[in-house]
Amino acid sequence: MSLSIPTLGAGTFRLKGEDAYNSVKMALEAGYRHIDTAQIYGNEKEVGQAIADSGIAREELYVTTKIWMDKLGKASFIPSLDESLKDLQLEQVDLLLIHWPLKDDAVPMEEYLQELKHAQDTGLARHIGVSNFTVVQMQQAIAILGEDVLYTNQVEVHPYLQNRQVVDFCQQHRLIVTGYMPFAYGDVLKDGSIKHIAEKHQSTPAQVVLAWMAKSGFVTIPSSTKKANIESNLGYVDVMLTDEDMETIAHLDRGHRLANPDFAPDWD
């Protein structure tokens, strides 16, 4: 599968109003071409306005949004996507995700995945995927839609939560892993080992983490409201981690999960 999704994207989780607009505007000005949002973030309008105001050609951009859990039923799925597209001022998103799997089967997975596929078949989404799916749920999804239909599983991944079972399954089934919260809200940026590697490479801890994500084959979507950080993060491409660096980071895994709401699945 050729990767048409840029490795580093600008996330917009927890960004509201002007913060969301400014963050996306700064990211696009800095050179980011991949923007990630979601219905539940309540910022699709601002994200859409920042994209529109950037003047960047549509085909240069990769825009992701996600369908929230109360919109997964057949009656509301596509109408909610139409609303998102209107807010984003786009005719199509590049990637549409199911934001969270349902625990209670209020809407059967088959129903919402068929709607997801319908969005792709009718040109409302170029690629489709899932988010926060466990191995068992990915197995179910592939059984419903077939191999090579889903493009990514967006899950929490950072040096303190390396999510290996999910990652291995994704890699076996040609699903891109998109890792969110790569800095674990800043926790890993304070890590002594990460700081040591950063000093060695004359880089920032954030650049080290992003270089590790990229070298591991992950796409990632950190969010920031600071222009300096948004610009500096792009420098990860100049950080050439050694096998020893990768080994050091591999040992930092400690199951430190931050995104764990009460509706989360039973994690692997």
- Choose the catalytic residue: 41, 62, 151, 236: 41
* Rounded Cα gap, residues 245 and 116, in angstroms: 39
With b for 16 or more beta-carbon neighbours within 10 A and e for fewer, the 128-140 pattern comes to bbbbbbbbebbeb
Binding-site residue ranges: 99
Residue 106 forms part of a structural domain: yes
For the entire predicted model, the pTM comes to 0.97
Mean pLDDT by 10 residues, the chain (268 residues): 81 97 98 98 98 97 98 98 98 98 94 98 98 98 98 98 98 97 97 98 98 97 97 98 98 97 96
CATH classification of the domain holding 56: 3.20.20.100
Residue 78 forms part of a structural domain: yes
Residue 262 forms part of a structural domain: no
CA 62 to chain centre: 12
For this structure, is 41 an active site residue?
Answer: yes
Residue 201 forms part of a structural domain: no
Residue 237 forms part of a structural domain: no
Confidence (pLDDT) at 105: 85
Task: Report which DSSP code applies to 158.
Answer: B
Q: What are the residue ranges of helices labelled H in the chain? A: 17-30, 44-54, 77-88, 109-121, 135-145, 164-172, 192-200, 205-215, 227-233, 243-250
Please give the tally of structural domains in the chain. 1
Residue 164 forms part of a structural domain: yes
Residue 94 forms part of a structural domain: yes
Domain with 66 in it: 10-185+217-224
Residue 244 forms part of a structural domain: no
Confidence (pLDDT) at 3: 58
- Name the nearest CA neighbour of 110 among 102, 76, 262, 38: 102
Binding-site residue ranges for substrate: 99
